Structure 1
Amino acid sequence: MNEQVQPAGGPLFNPLSPDFIRDPYPHYERLRTVDPIHVTPFGQYVASRHAEVSLVLRDKRFGKDFVERTTRRYGPEIMKEPVFRSMSYWMLQADPPDHTRLRGLVVKAFTARRVEDMRPRIQEIVDQAIDAVIERGHMDLIEDFAFRLPVTIICDMLGIPEEHREVFYKSSRDGGRLLDPVPLSPEEIRQGNAANLMAQMYFQQLFELRRKNPGDDLITQLVQAEEDGNKLTNEELTANIILLFGAGHETTVNLIGNGLLALHRNPDQLALLKAKPELMTNAIEEFLRYDSSVQMTGRVTLEEIEDLGGVTIPKGETVLCLLGSANRDGAVYPDRPDRLDVTRANVKPLSFGGGIHFCLGAQLARIEAEIAIATLLRRLPDLRIDDIETPEWRPTFVLRGLRRLPASW
């Protein structure tokens, strides 16, 4: 099923084309129908159906093998680039036993109880964001609303002092390209290195501060684990704080933004949710399914896989799992999967991944989105999004989100 069935509309999987970024879902449907295990020009296998995606995420025959995979794509010198070197220490890119050790050090900060206890603080931040703009009658739902909440919460959790935060609120949101399946240009690598080195410099100073003045925060916990030499090296510490900071806000900003856009594009669902706020918890699951903030995650075959959707995949190959596509697979959601339905039963989106890499912050993201969207509907019931037809998407594929979303009331 290769080149000869390429439809007239160009390549089956061209994730950075503007058309794909605007609306990937018709492209996914084509992939699921025509070529469910698709091979890209870079030799990656792309899984688009729910059955194969959920298997790859949970099956121990698939891993991350980040250094080997990246070296094969970019050549033997690539690990000298600071940004790739840093990513090689991310627990997101690690396999056991390193993954188990790193995740074990941070998992305590994300327990259900800890996260539930943050509800009042989350509510306070959301209310402050609305208070700041309510008299103006307009705002950008991304910058003025969706962005401030998760950034503030992750700063709280990491122990980033109040007086340092303004720079984080203003920092650019263009790190997402690092995760895309299309290789980075030399210029993009240069920018990635610069941003990574700035972050490293900042966090190294913060570690010093927390060694002298410990706090009740994650960085203090990790600095103490680093002093217990066999638990954490300084490079691992720095890289994983950068990961937690990025993962701790990027995806939640997109969940809130994509969810609000979806609601306003479906006025019947918006009206239903305003009338029945108790549907909000289920609605969040549906937003995750309908337009996932993370569209894709990757694994590497640790041995030959004989039959993934009818295809044999040799050892050492990359398999890209299209989470956004699996979430709309009619085999799992037979009732009009392309429709937003906040009352949909049995919604179990794959948006947080699965297996050992299941998102640490899943419950935190859900609660942040739930409080943010519920409060907005309650306090600004007549809010209108200025342009629901052609909003401006960020030019990244793996992290799907809006660059801005102006609204008024």
Structure 2
Amino acid sequence: MSMATDSQTPGSRLVGRLLDPTSRADPYPIYAGFRALGPVWIEEMSSLVVASYRDCETLLRDPRLSAERDRFFQADQAADLYPAHAPSSVRQPWFLSLDPPDHTRLRRLVISAFTPRAVARMEDSIAQLVDEYLDGAAEQETFDVLSGLAYPLPVTVICRMLGVPPADERLFHRWSAQLTRMLDGFSNRYDGSGETPEWMQGEVELHRYVNELVADRRKSPRRDDLISELLAAEDGGDVLSHDELVSTVVLLLVAGHETTVNLIANGVLALLRHPGHLAALRAGPGTAPAVVEEILRYDPPVQLTVRVADHDLRVGDAKVPAGGLVLLLLAAAHRDPEATPDPDRFDPNREQVRHLGFGFGPHFCLGAPLARLEGRLALAAFARRVREPELVADPPPYREHVNLRGVSELLISHAGVTR
């Protein structure tokens, strides 16, 4: 995707500012600029950028928009970059990036493992993990909330759900970090150089590992892991093919890990900047669900999502040709004053929290119950156990990602960790 940031059009100038790494700490004034423009077509990107809540919510369920963004990026031209020995599953699209009826079919086969009831059974084990990570902060004068809590918790949870041997969990940390590029909506994953990008190397390694894990489960199914459940999943005689199963496992790891990392880290950051709300959570752990919902609105783990226009369409005064890209700035929509009063204020006590943090419509996030549970348990335990936490640096350093925007480090000092 070509992005000429020296263009004089207002939309292009805003895109240039958003892509500037110095904006990562606070992109919200830029998002306000996009809302003021209304839906804007940016010719250099062949893209429509949408920032209001109403438009984002409406377009997320518009059947004229496709989730199959690889068609826009001409992914078939990158197929030759995969090594000849790469598993065939690397070419199986994630069901997140498919349209109905394929998306509907695959989602129906997977959803039983992520119902609120199924996820609730994991609460005790996740709470124990959170306490173990916070125990690690007790003997440290400064504690990195990212590497010490927010980052390891989701990957450990999903690895244990899948039945990954504990000794191999560290491999998943590296692969997940490499594959986040696949979810960064402002980036063309294929640079045209003809060289295999780092994320693709990680993808091949991960697929190879999961293929072996699935083969082992076929020989010796277990009753308590997600891969065995997916192998047994059936709907009206329909089952997941081998490549569909492997691709789904990879999706659950990558999409479910980095997003929850950002939810927890963004939540701790917001609470540290608003000590009154941190104290309220400490005094009333039952308010943790409301805190999570406000974080999803105020500083969402996923800042934008992408669709492709299947047909010519008009959004406001802007025309989008078939094949054009539509960038839905979810983080901008969450700060839309027409949807949320006083939207720049962090306030878990709002009567109604409207957000698109898990998407909307047919692609609503399958892992939402799990992410909410992990966020609730992590934030409540942090508030309860960590005494007098203070940020070492504000703002903290951020990673380069535009979409999965999050800190690269979140150092705090504290007066101790209670048992």
Contact between 1:37 and 1:311, CA under 8 Å: does it hold in 2?
A: yes
- How many Å apart are 1:170 and its aligned residue? 5.6
Assess, with a 3 A threshold, how the Cα gap between structure 1 residues 130 and 196 changes in structure 2: closer, same or farther. same
| Other-structure match for 2:110 | 106
AA paired with 2:200?
N
Percent identity of equivalent pairs: 38
Matched, 1:381 2:383: no
Contact between 1:299 and 1:319, CA under 8 Å: does it hold in 2?
A: yes
Matched, 1:214 2:221: yes
Assess, with a 3 A threshold, how the Cα gap between structure 1 residues 293 and 188 changes in structure 2: closer, same or farther. farther
| Other-structure match for 1:398 | 403
**What is the distance in 2 between the residues matched to 1:122 and 1:40?**
47
3-state SS of the aligned residue for 1:11? helix
Assess, with a 3 A threshold, how the Cα gap between structure 1 residues 132 and 159 changes in structure 2: closer, same or farther. same
- How many Å apart are 1:225 and its aligned residue? 5.3
Q: What's the CA shift string for 1:197-234, capped at 9, x where partnerless?
A: 110111111111111111122211333459x9963333
Matched, 1:239 2:247: yes
Assess, with a 3 A threshold, how the Cα gap between structure 1 residues 38 and 275 changes in structure 2: closer, same or farther. farther
**What is the distance in 1 between the residues matched to 2:346 and 2:91?**
35
Deviates more, 1:229-238 or 1:144-153: 229-238
Contact between 1:392 and 1:402, CA under 8 Å: does it hold in 2?
A: yes
**What is the distance in 1 between the residues matched to 2:271 and 2:200?**
38
Match of 1:281 among 282, 289, 293: 289
> Within 5 A, what are the aligned runs for 1:42-81?
42-71=45-74, 77-81=77-81
3-state SS of the aligned residue for 2:388? coil
**What is the distance in 2 between the residues matched to 1:64 and 1:340?**
31
> Within 5 A, what are the aligned runs for 1:32-181?
32-39=35-42, 41-71=44-74, 77-82=77-82, 86=90, 89-169=93-173, 173-180=177-184, 181=186
> Within 5 A, what are the aligned runs for 1:261-280?
261-280=269-288
| Other-structure match for 2:417 | none
Contact between 1:385 and 1:406, CA under 8 Å: does it hold in 2?
A: yes
Assess, with a 3 A threshold, how the Cα gap between structure 1 residues 408 and 188 changes in structure 2: closer, same or farther. farther
**What is the distance in 1 between the residues matched to 2:244 and 2:19?**
31
AA paired with 1:312?
K
Q: What's the CA shift string for 1:296-342, capped at 9, x where partnerless?
A: 1111222222x3123232222211111101111010012x2111111
| Other-structure match for 1:257 | 265
> Any gaps of 5 or more consecutive residues in structure 2?
1-6, 415-419
Assess, with a 3 A threshold, how the Cα gap between structure 1 residues 110 and 87 changes in structure 2: closer, same or farther. farther
**What is the distance in 2 between the residues matched to 1:38 and 1:283?**
35
| Other-structure match for 2:206 | 199
**What is the distance in 1 between the residues matched to 2:122 and 2:170?**
22
**What is the distance in 2 between the residues matched to 1:85 and 1:398?**
25
Deviates more, 1:309-318 or 1:100-109: 309-318
AA paired with 1:13?
V
AA paired with 1:137?
E
Match of 2:356 among 338, 350, 358: 350
Contact between 1:63 and 1:302, CA under 8 Å: does it hold in 2?
A: yes
**What is the distance in 2 between the residues matched to 1:126 and 1:52?**
38
Assess, with a 3 A threshold, how the Cα gap between structure 1 residues 157 and 172 changes in structure 2: closer, same or farther. closer
Contact between 1:101 and 1:231, CA under 8 Å: does it hold in 2?
A: no
AA paired with 1:277?
P
AA paired with 1:359?
C
**What is the distance in 1 between the residues matched to 2:229 and 2:374?**
24
3-state SS of the aligned residue for 1:351? coil
- How many Å apart are 1:251 and its aligned residue? 0.5
| Other-structure match for 2:329 | 322
**What is the distance in 1 between the residues matched to 2:398 and 2:194?**
22
Contact between 1:87 and 1:93, CA under 8 Å: does it hold in 2?
A: no
AA paired with 1:403?
S
Contact between 1:300 and 1:318, CA under 8 Å: does it hold in 2?
A: yes
Q: What's the CA shift string for 1:32-88, capped at 9, x where partnerless?
A: 0024334262211111111110011112222223342221xx7x5224444998375
Q: TM-score, normalised by structure 2?
A: 0.88
